[in-house]
Amino acid sequence: MNEPILKIENLSVDYVTGETLVRAVDRVSLDVKPGEIVGLAGESGCGKTTLAKAILRILPPPAIITGGKIEYRGKNILEINEGELRKLRWQKISIVFQSAMNALNPVIRIGEQITDVILAHKSVSPDEAYDRASQLLEMVGIHPIHLNSYSHQLSGGMRQRVCIALALALEPDIVIMDEPTTALDVIVEREILNQIKDLQARLGFSVIYITHDLARLLQFSHRLAILYAAHIAEIAPAQELQENPLHPYTQKLMRAMPSLVPSEVKPETIPGTPPSLASPPPGCRFHPRCDRAIEICQREKPPLVEKATNHLVACHLAS
């Protein structure tokens, strides 16, 4: 049986704002199996990036993790000490940020930013680390001469490739990718996605892929989780989700995507805006925008239940 290597259970993350707390991730559960690409989709501000960074516990102030657990191979990341955390980071789980421009330090050469992570985790000589860094750059199609470059000397696409090479430096089990292609044009985006897929097939790592672009995810990932206002709305295998979306939000998202609807039908938009996380609506968070909302939706938060094999949905209508 394919046991998950990462199990997130009831994870909650809050931001401290003055006297109150704002919950950006609310009791979210999700697991990742070896070699699996898990997609995480949602509108901006729904908590996807927060979730991604919480896994590595690198959320800067004012964030705090307020509950749940994150188990990596049975070990709870929320309960280990700094030293263990440091060993787990990058070696087991690495991350690619949304903006490579901001993720690379502008005053440190690319080479040093790759070798230092190798030297920190592996007992190799600086020369060996440098050779490994060259290989990594070549692997993503960048000439090793750029080990001597600074990030501002590279193009946007090259920077993001550097970040991907960096993420794979220690051959981790899981790579978190937080909208790694948003800042890029369509052609470069396609190249990079193909590259990630190719590398994933070759090296066999798992991917948690985060984006607001549902169409991309449906092609790209094995399984998808739809996040709405800090809650999980639906989780299903990609094909299942495409053929049989159960949550009204997912359905609307599908109909809003130009690439998924036949060209003669105009893509719809979802009326209204996502709720503010500081004062979310009671009950189902989607009900103010849902045209099929019934009375119970305003009162009770729908539980996440398994409707079909591996297909979970949080909606009163589905149960």
Partner 1 sequence: MKTNSQETTASIWVEAIRKDRKATAGAIIIGIFLLIAIVGPFFVGDPHEPVGIPLQPPSRSHLLGTTGQGQDVLAQVVVGTRMSLAIGFCVGIIVVMVGALIGITAGFFGGWVDSVLSLLINVFLVIPGLPLAIVIAAYLPSGPLTLGLVLVITGWAWNARVLRAQTLSVRRRDFVAAAVVTGESSLRIVSREILPTMTSLIVAQIIGSTVYAIGAQVGLEFLGLGDVATVTWGTNLYWAQNDSALLMGAWWTFVPTGLCIALVGFGLTMLNSGFDEITNPRLRLERVWRAFLGGLGRPPEPSTPVVRIAE
Partner 2 sequence: MRYILRRLGFYLVAAWAAVTLNFFLPRLMPGDPATALFARFRGQLSPEAMEALRETFGLTEAPLVKQYLTYLGHILRGDMGISVAYFPSEVSGVIATGLLWTILIAGTAVVVSFAIGTTLGIIAASRRGGWLDNVLPSVLIFVGSFPYFWLAMVVLFIMGFTLRWFPLGHAYSDNLTPSLSLEFISSVLTHAFLPVATVVVATLGGWLLSMRNNMVSVLGSDYVNLARAKGLKPARVIMRYAARNALLPSVTGFGMALGYILGGSLLTEIVFSYPGQGYLLVQAVRNQDYPLMQGIFLMITLAVLGANLIIDVVYLWLDPRTREIGR
Tokens 């600074």 sit on residue: 150
65 binds, among partner 2, partner 1, none (CB under 5 to 8 A by kind): partner 1
SS3 301: coil
117 binds partner 1 (CB under 8 A): no
Q: Which of 2, 82, 123, 145 binds partner 1 (CB under 8 A)?
A: 82
Q: Where are the alpha helices (DSSP H) in the chain?
A: 48-56, 82-88, 100-103, 110-121, 126-139, 156-167, 186-203, 214-220, 238-243, 248-255
> How near is the Cβ of 242 to partner 1 at its closest, in Å?
33
Give the separation between CA 95 and CA 97, rounded to whole angstroms: 6
**Interface region with partner 2, contact rule CB under 8 A, candidates 17-25, 147-155, 179-187, 215-223:** 147-155
16 binds partner 1 (CB under 8 A): yes
> How near is the Cβ of 229 to partner 2 at its closest, in Å?
24
Give the separation between CA 116 and CA 90, rounded to whole angstroms: 12
Residue 144 Cα distances to 115, 126, 180, 196, angstroms: 13, 16, 22, 19
> How near is the Cβ of 113 to partner 1 at its closest, in Å?
19
> Of 81 and 125, which has the nearer Cβ to partner 1?
81
106 binds, among partner 1, partner 2, none (CB under 5 to 8 A by kind): partner 2
Q: Which of 44, 58, 143, 153 binds partner 1 (CB under 8 A)?
A: 58
> How near is the Cβ of 300 to partner 2 at its closest, in Å?
37
203 binds partner 2 (CB under 8 A): no
Across-strand partners of 211?
A: 41
74 binds, among partner 2, partner 1, none (CB under 5 to 8 A by kind): none
For the record, the structure tokens of 164 come out as 């991907």
Tokens 């592996």 sit on residue: 122
Residue 134 Cα distances to 169, 243, 272, angstroms: 11, 44, 49
57 binds partner 1 (CB under 8 A): yes
22 binds partner 1 (CB under 8 A): no
152 binds, among partner 2, partner 1, none (CB under 5 to 8 A by kind): partner 2
For the record, the structure tokens of 294 come out as 């019934």
> How near is the Cβ of 89 to partner 2 at its closest, in Å?
3
25 binds partner 2 (CB under 8 A): no
Among 166, 154, 200, 199, which residue's Cα sits nearest to residue 32?
Answer: 200
> Of 90 and 205, which has the nearer Cβ to partner 2?
90
Among 101, 110, 89, which residue's Cα sits nearest to residue 176?
Answer: 89
Site string for partner 2, 149-168 (x = CB under 8 A): -x-xx---------------
58 binds partner 2 (CB under 8 A): yes
Site string for partner 1, 263-282 (x = CB under 8 A): --------------------
For the record, the structure tokens of 96 come out as 């690619």
Site string for partner 2, 89-108 (x = CB under 8 A): xxx--xx-x-x--xxxxxxx
Tokens 């981790």 sit on residue: 172
Cis peptide before 274 (omega within 30 of 0): no
99 binds, among partner 2, partner 1, none (CB under 5 to 8 A by kind): partner 2
Cα torsion 81, 177, 38, 279: sign: positive
